[in-house]
Homo-oligomer: A and B are copies of this chain.
Amino acid sequence: MWYVVTNGRGWDEDEATQRGGLRFGGGLVVLSCAGSIPQKCLSGKLEAVYVDASRKMSENGVVPRAKVLTIDTMNPTVKNVEYAVRGPIVARAVELERELSEGMKKPFAEVIKANIGDAHAMGQQPITFFRQVLALCSYPELLNDSTFPEDAKSRAYRILQSCGGNSMGSYSASQGIDSVRQDVAHYIERRDGGVPCDPDNIYLTTGASDGIMTMLKLLVCGEGATRTGVMISIPQYPLYSAALAELGAVQINYYLNEEKCWSLDISELQRALDEARHYCSPRALCIINPGNPTGQVQSRQCIEDVIRFAAKERLFLMADEVYQDNVYAEGCQFHSFKKVLFEMGPEYSNTVELASFHSTSKCYMGECGFRGGYMEVMNMDDEVKAQLTKLLSVRLCPPVPGQALMDLVVNPPQPGEPSYDNFIKERTATLSALAEKAKLTEQVLNTVQGISCNPVQGAMYSFPHITIPEKAIKEAMEQGQQPDMFYCMKMLEETGICLVPGSGFGQKEGTYHFRMTILPPIDKLQILLIKVKEFHQKFTQQYS
């Protein structure tokens, strides 16, 4: 229900009154128009304001000036954006934390945020070497401090030499610092067994999200049935759906096979693509490997099949490989799309367009706050590359401390350097602990009747299937909630554990899941898993 208020310009008072408006003093006419605003009022030709009926008018008839920017007049694509990882459940978790700190009684002593891959927040320690170099770069006076190891100093010196005025406070080139891009290229060559990498194809980014968003932005065009469609896995990391919503692109869902440990079937890609061709113009295929939220690690064969599919169907490939060091399961190994593409020979390596993404936020580093990342593009059209560089120049450059950190990730201490042993010790400790926690999570969850969890082969999450009783589903629906949101909210209120419902990532109709990170310290994770188990049993009992 809306009121339109006009001061008499455009519509005169009489016309507005005739249309059911009420004279309200001060030359104002208040017009009720139940739901829709006359186009005339929105066109800007009429000096008219409209207010939500729920807002009180003051007694003297002066109506508060209505907002220019309201939920009804804002960018509609922004309204379509959803991002479950920081959605309502997290807002409630923050509220609960505040209530606890204010002394309110709860059935738990602390809120455990297992909703987001935020390693340091869960107690993971940063790599000493990385932080030493960042301190040296921040305050170069420390280069004279004898307590810092020489390799940290030489890295810092090299980074500062690449900065304007030798300061991290200077803008870098929009594509990123030259020497960092060179180091990234060398890293990729080493990682991929010598496959060549051109630093000109490297773009440093503000976390991987920024790179993914930018690539999608380049790809989107057309209207109606020629509008760009982008294939994403279901379940997906909701950055993808959010970005596509914001860009007004068409999201094409392909479903991962939960029965086969979240594997990717080419026949399912084909089905999704063939259907989508009827209503949009599919142009890109996004893959997350290792998987988020599903934790699977793709086989080399599967990657080859995907590349072949992309070539055949003329799709631009986007490979989200931010968890490339997070592989735990025996027999699993990370294969980069770039490497497989090159091994498939020039028919593919000279033609298939690929952008791959990496980040400082995951793996053993977990440095989310620095917002570092890079993207490598292959076989990208030169004119498009020029457009990309131009687009990036508008936001000037990615944060330089994040670029410095990315440099350290791709160029860590080498054997023989003073920091090498400690670096390896710290990295191994973090990755071993993650592997142990991945195993533990799968094991404990699979002891619960009504929960079934695929092996966490990689990444940082489990995404178990949960059975929700019919009665609970009905109650959730009555409250206008997704059943797994209802389940997760209840768990949060009763146990303090903050998970993300599967509906935030997408799942097969009628199935329910949650995403839980494996990041809490092992003793805390054990308690958390037992609490999840107890909650699930209680919940099932309550609603059966």
Contacts and interface: CB of A to CB of B under 8 A. Distances in A.
B120 A169 contact: yes
Interface stretch (A11-19, A129-137, A261-269, A506-514): A129-137
A368 B394 contact: no
Interface in A141-175: 142, 163-165, 167-174
Contact size range, A: 35 or more
Interface in A225-267: 225-226, 238-239, 242-243, 246
Specify which of A47, A73, A380 lies most central, judged by the most chain B CB atoms within 10 Å of its CB. A73
Interface stretch (A309-317, A477-485, A536-544): A309-317
Given A206-B206, A220-B75, A44 B277 contact: yes
A392 B401 CA distance: 21
Interface in A198-213: 206-207, 209-210, 213
A68 interface: yes
B81 A383 contact: no
Tell me which of A68, A171, A207, A387 has the highest count of chain B C-beta atoms within 10 A of its own C-beta.
Answer: A68
A281 B282 CA distance: 33
Contact of A171 (B163, B226, B368, B390): B368
A342 interface: no
Nearest to A372: B399
Contact of A75 (B85, B218, B397): B218
A135 B383 CA distance: 41
A221 interface: yes
A353 B394 contact: no
A387 B394 CA distance: 24
A67 B206 CA distance: 27
Contacts of A225: 43
A40 to B, nearest CB: 11
Interface in A363-382: 365-371, 379-381
A370 B353 contact: no
Given A43-B226, A65-B314, A239-B394, 5 more contacts: A43-B277, A44-B282, A65-B351, A67-B353, A71-B387
Q: Which 7 A-B pairs have the closest CB atoms?
A: A121-B164, A369-B400, A135-B139, A120-B167, A65-B351, A86-B393, A71-B383
29 contacts: A43-B281, A44-B283, A45-B277, A47-B314, A67-B381, A68-B316, A69-B283, A69-B384, A74-B219, A74-B221, A76-B221, A81-B390, A118-B170, A120-B163, A120-B164, A120-B167, A121-B164, A121-B165, A121-B167, A131-B139, A167-B369, A169-B367, A170-B369, A171-B368, A172-B369, A209-B395, A213-B395, A370-B399, A371-B400
Interface of A: 42-45, 47, 49, 64-65, 67-71, 73-76, 78-79, 81-83, 85-87, 94, 116, 118-124, 126, 131-132, 134-136, 138-139, 142, 163-165, 167-174, 206-207, 209-210, 213, 217-221, 225-226, 238-239, 242-243, 246, 277, 281-284, 311-312, 314-316, 350-353, 365-371, 379-381, 383-384, 387, 390-391, 393-402
